[in-house]
Structure formats: C-alpha cells, structure tokens
C-alpha cells in the first residue's frame, strides 16, 4: 500500500516536472540567439507530437499533457501581464486577451465536466435520472432533450449499426466506441484528449471546439501584440477605429532579455496556434460531413453512410 502511494507520488512529480522543465528549458534556450530559437522551435513540435503518439498508442493515463497546457497558459499570462505591458499595450487589448483566456478556461472546463456524460453507463440511466431530478439546471435538461433527440435520429439513421463492445462485453448504441484510456464505452467518441485528460464525445464535443477557437484567438492576439510591440510595426488596416498592425523588422530582439522573452513567447504561441488551427479545420470538415475523428481514422468506410447535409450535421452537433 505504502509502495503504491510512493509510486503514485513519484508519477505525479514526474507529470509536473517534465512539462515545467520542458517549457522553461525550451523558452530560455531559445532567447540566446535567433539560431537557437529556430532550432528549438523546429524540434519542439516533433518532440511533443512523438510523445503524444507514444502515449496514445500505449493508452497511457499520463497527466503530462494536461499540466503542459496549464503551465503554458500560466506562462503566456505572466509574459503578457509582466513583460508585454512594459511595451505600452492599450487597456482594451489587455481586456480582449483576458476575456479570450477566460472563455478558453470556461469552455475547456465544461469539456472536462461534461466528459463523464459520454460514458455509456453514465448517460443512459444513472446520469439521466439524476439530471432529470435537477429541474433548475437548464444545461442538464437541454442535454437530456438533446440526447433523446439525437437517439431518435440515430435510431432512424443507424439502426443496423448497433453493436457490442468486446472489452465491456455489452451491447452499445450506434456511434459508441470503447476508449482504452478511460476504460469505458464513449457515446459519439471523437478522440481521447490528453491535453484535457478526458474523452471528447457527444456531450462535450461542442465545448471542445469552442475552447479550441477561443484559445487559438488568444494565442494569435498574444503573438500579434507581442511582435508588434517589439518588431517595428506597420499599419495594415483600420476596423472600428482600431488599427491592425503587423511586425516588420525583428532582427534586434535578442539584445535585451525581456524583449527576447516576448519574442520567443510569441513564436511559441504561433506554433501552438498552428497546431490548434489544424485541429479546428479538421473538426470543421468532419462535423460538416457528420463524422467524428474516431470514425474518420478507424472506420473510414462510414464516410458514405453519413451524407445528411452540412446544415443537419451542424444542428445535430450543436443539439439544435
Ligand atoms: Zn467498451
Ligand atoms: Zn478516453
């Protein structure tokens, strides 16, 4: 028992220390010079992607990616609040950035919170009953209605898709797939997200997409405001009285540590924003086709069985 708790403490320490050292080391090596910066940010996506694929293949229950997301968010907020303001940011710019970060936290928290509803046992009986008892919870009620509506449409469309899970040894409804990391059957499973430490399925898929969009916007805003503060900006266009600027010459940013930190932070934000952009585009295409990532990667033959039109697919996705 003692050995078990000791190994758990060791694992938790590893889950926190690894992303902390990784973020600090990459960012502080990158501020040395432009060459170091390019090298670090070429290796960075390869290292993260390789480790992610390794963990996904092993169906690992690691917290490393979750801690990585959390520490990255804290790192960006610290940079923005303590270094970039020295470069004379407007209060409105600060307000928009803080609002986007807040939206990101709310959407990703809701993604995690609603992930338990995706578990087959939870959403079919226990959770539905407990949710129905709580009549004041509008979110819960709308989820039940959405579930019933979705089940009706799924039965119409996929009655022949009903299957069984060989691991749980029970019958499962259409579009339900087993997740080895969650050790459960997940309704409308899209994928297991290690950055949020939960499965993305029918009941949290839209919050996940909204979270990706708001975090993508926050990262782009952070990168743009940081770079235009330190890299001799030039105006591009004016909208609602606000001038949109782009950076011009960034050659002298490595002369001062604070400015180099802002520059490296901006490049780090751009890399994460590119990754999120790919995820968002992939999600938009699949949702328009009425598919989940799981169906796309594992059951490609289902593509032709789900042509109900883009509008209806988006309505189903948003429970409208
Ligand atoms: Zn299962
Ligand atoms: Zn999962």
Q: Which ligand is nearest to the CA of 115?
A: 2
Ligand 2 centroid–CA 243 distance in Å is 44
**Which residue in this structure is represented by tokens 């949109």?**
244
Pick from 259, 280, 272: nearest CA to 83: 259
Ligand 1 centroid–CA 120 distance in Å is 8
Quick one: pLDDT band at residue 217, thresholds 50, 70, 90?
very high
Signed CA dihedral, 9, 181, 166, 118: sign only: positive
Q: What are phi and psi of 180, to 5 degrees?
A: -70, -30
Within 159-256, where are the H helices? 205-230
Q: Cα(234)–Cα(236) distance, rounded to whole angstroms?
A: 7
Ligand 2 centroid–CA 270 distance in Å is 28
pLDDT at 16: 86
Ligand 2 centroid–CA 241 distance in Å is 46
pLDDT tens-digit map of 274-291 = 999 999 999 999 999 888
Residue 199: is its pLDDT beyond 90?
A: yes
Quote the tokens at residue 302: 């289902």
Ligand 1 centroid–CA 50 distance in Å is 27
Q: Which ligand is nearest to the CA of 193?
A: 2
Ligand 1 centroid–CA 177 distance in Å is 7
Signed CA dihedral, 310, 140, 182, 68: sign only: positive
Residue 165, helix vs strand vs coil:
strand
Q: Cα(146)–Cα(291) distance, rounded to whole angstroms?
A: 18
Higher-confidence residue of 291 and 248: namely: 291
Q: Taking residues 31-51, what's their average pLDDT?
A: 90
Residue 152: is its pLDDT beyond 60?
A: no
Answer for the pair 222, 235: CB distance below 8 angstroms, yes or no.
no
Residues in the chain: 320
Q: Taking residues 25-32, what's their average pLDDT?
A: 89
Q: Cα(149)–Cα(141) distance, rounded to whole angstroms?
A: 12
Residue 119, helix vs strand vs coil:
strand
pLDDT at 131: 39
pLDDT tens-digit map of 135-148 = 333 444 444 444 44
pTM, entire model = 0.80
Higher-confidence residue of 314 and 245: namely: 314
């Amino acid at each position: 028992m003692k050995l078990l708790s000791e190994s758990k403490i060791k694992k938790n320490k590893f889950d926190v220390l690894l992303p902390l050292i990784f973020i600090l080391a990459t960012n502080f090596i990158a501020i040395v010079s432009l060459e170091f910066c390019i090298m670090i940010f070429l290796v960075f996506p390869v290292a993260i992607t390789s480790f992610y694929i390794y963990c996904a293949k092993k169906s690992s229950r690691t917290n490393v990616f979750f801690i990585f997301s959390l520490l990255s968010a804290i790192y960006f907020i610290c940079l923005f609040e303590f270094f970039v303001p020295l470069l004379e940011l407007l209060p409105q710019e600060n307000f928009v950035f803080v609002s986007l970060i807040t939206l990101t936290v709310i959407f990703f928290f809701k993604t995690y919170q609603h992930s338990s509803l995706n578990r087959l046992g939870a959403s079919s009986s226990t959770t539905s009953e407990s949710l129905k008892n709580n009549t004041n919870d509008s979110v819960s009620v709308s989820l039940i209605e959405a579930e019933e509506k979705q089940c009706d449409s799924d039965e119409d469309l996929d009655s022949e898709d009903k299957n069984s899970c060989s691991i749980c040894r029970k019958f499962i409804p259409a579009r339900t797939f087993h997740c080895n990391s969650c050790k459960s059957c997940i309704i409308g499973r899209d994928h297991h997200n290690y950055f949020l430490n939960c499965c993305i399925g029918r009941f949290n898929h839209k919050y996940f997409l909204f979270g990706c969009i708001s975090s993508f916007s926050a990262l782009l805003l952070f990168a743009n405001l940081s770079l235009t503060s330190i890299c001799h900006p030039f105006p591009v266009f004016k909208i609602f009285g606000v001038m949109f600027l782009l950076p011009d010459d960034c050659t002298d940013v490595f002369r001062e540590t604070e400015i180099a930190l802002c520059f490296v932070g901006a490049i780090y934000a751009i890399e994460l924003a590119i990754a999120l952009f790919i995820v968002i585009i992939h999600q938009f295409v699949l949702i328009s086709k009425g598919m989940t990532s799981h169906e796309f990667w594992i059951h490609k033959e289902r593509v032709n069985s789900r042509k109900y039109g883009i509008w209806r697919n988006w309505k189903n996705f948003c429970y409208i």
